[in-house]
Amino acid sequence: MVMQGSLKPLGVLVSGYGSNLQAILDACAQGVVAGRVACVISSNARAFAGERAKNAGVPYYVLPNATPEERDAHITALLKKHDVQGVCLAGYMRLLTAGFVDTWWDRVFNIHPSLLPAFKGMNAQRQALSAGVKVTGCTVHFVRPAMDEGPIILQATTPVFADDTEDTLAQRLLPLEHRTYVQALKWYCDDRLRIQGERVFVIPAAEAKS
């Protein structure tokens, strides 16, 4: 059994429904990930993700209206208050400042509904359908200052069918996102991720424990 004190404290940034947050909360509660969600921070006071955090008994904060620099400084203060080691973006709809990314370098994770570097930004499913790709997927990566850029940790794929819409594609991607994000965080909390030259390598479990 993993003791509470040995669990990596995670902070989760959200803006909306919070299904990836729920997947992370569940994985931590079930011991799949050797981490604990120490706080949840939202850019949207009406986000349903807030209810998920409160139901799990996790400290929840709503960001004030502020400049990007002030907002990110506030986030950093909250994360440090809770001794957070890893920061998870889970549908967080704000660009982080370069200063924030520098402060948390190689400790900020994002999930994006495409096979990066393809289809960055908003409406990734629409972009995939417009491009006529036959396969798309999701990507978990370390965050860099530019949007949807950074070392790729893990990807998962799904076919794109002729009758797909943005909604059907998005719904098929969601369970992939949940599983992929959880796996990436499991590796992180087990100290199995190494970055070399902006490439991510997963080291064997035995080596991580040695």
Please report, to the nearest 10 degrees, the dihedral formed by the alpha carbons of residues 96, 99, 103, 105 taken in order.
60
- Is 74 catalytic? The answer is no
CATH code for position 126: 3.40.50.170
Q: pLDDT digits over 12-62, tens only?
A: 999 999 999 999 999 999 999 999 999 999 999 999 999 999 999 999 999
Write out the residue range of the structural domain in which residue 126 sits. Answer: 4-209
- Tell me the two tokens of residue 160: 């794109």
Taking a C-beta distance cutoff of 8 angstroms, is the pair 182, 31 a contact?
A: no
Q: pLDDT digits over 72-115, tens only?
A: 999 999 999 999 999 999 999 999 999 999 999 999 999 999 99
- Three-state DSSP state, 70: helix
Count the domains in the chain.
1
Catalytic one among 82, 112, 141, 178?
Answer: 112
Reported pTM: 0.94
Please report, to the nearest 10 degrees, the dihedral formed by the alpha carbons of residues 33, 77, 45, 106 taken in order.
-40
